[in-house]
């Protein structure tokens, strides 16, 4: 395993053979949501699946898509609430909380979560506008 990918996946809370992916992802989603992993109707986190091949490919192609996805589903960085990452690497599947993975990426790349959002996010504002908008008065009130 490439050293940078090993470092990226270090905060994984579980690792299983990739051939067990379907059942393992379902169980991990429910467990991380605080429910019974065997209860098919229990609460579950969202899983973002990714196939890792190299550090360079991850940073150049996959990280921008991940950041955009997290922002678009309302799992804003750096918290990334409600999302876990299911990362395939070779014959193994690693489960990492999105928050932990983003924190690790920021440290490894040398950027902040805000910088990742600025570069790869949806471009939507997360806070109210502070300046008053100069709108015309309602019709009939001049």
**In contact, 97 and 112? CB cutoff 8 Å:** no
**DSSP sequence for 29-71:** HHHHTTS-TT-TTS---EEEEEE---HHHIIIIIHHHHHHHHH
DSSP 3-state of 87:
strand
Return the pLDDT at 46.
Answer: 97
Residue extents of the structural domains in the chain: 3-120
Cβ within 8 Å of residue 39, ≥6 positions away: 30
pLDDT at 123: 80
Share of residues in the chain with pLDDT > 70 (%): 89
49-87, pLDDT tens digit by residue? 999 999 999 999 999 999 999 999 999 999 999 999 999
Q: Tens digits of per-residue pLDDT, 111-126? A: 999 999 999 998 876 5
Residue 138 burial by CB count (10 A; 0-12/13-18/19+): exposed, middle or buried?
exposed
């Amino acid at each position: 395993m490439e050293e940078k990918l090993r470092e990226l996946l270090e905060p994984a809370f579980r690792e299983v053979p990739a051939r067990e992916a379907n059942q393992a992802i379902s169980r991990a989603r429910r467990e991380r949501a605080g429910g019974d992993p065997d209860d098919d109707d229990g609460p579950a986190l969202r899983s973002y699946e990714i196939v890792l091949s190299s550090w360079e490919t991850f940073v150049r192609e996959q990280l921008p898509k991940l950041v955009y996805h997290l922002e678009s589903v309302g799992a804003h960085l750096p918290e990334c609430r409600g999302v876990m990452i299911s990362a395939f690497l070779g014959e193994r599947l690693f489960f990492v909380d999105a928050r932990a993975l983003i924190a690790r990426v920021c440290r490894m790349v040398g950027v902040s979560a805000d910088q990742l959002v600025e570069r790869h996010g949806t471009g939507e504002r997360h806070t109210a506008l502070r300046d008053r908008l100069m709108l015309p008065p309602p019709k009939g009130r001049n």
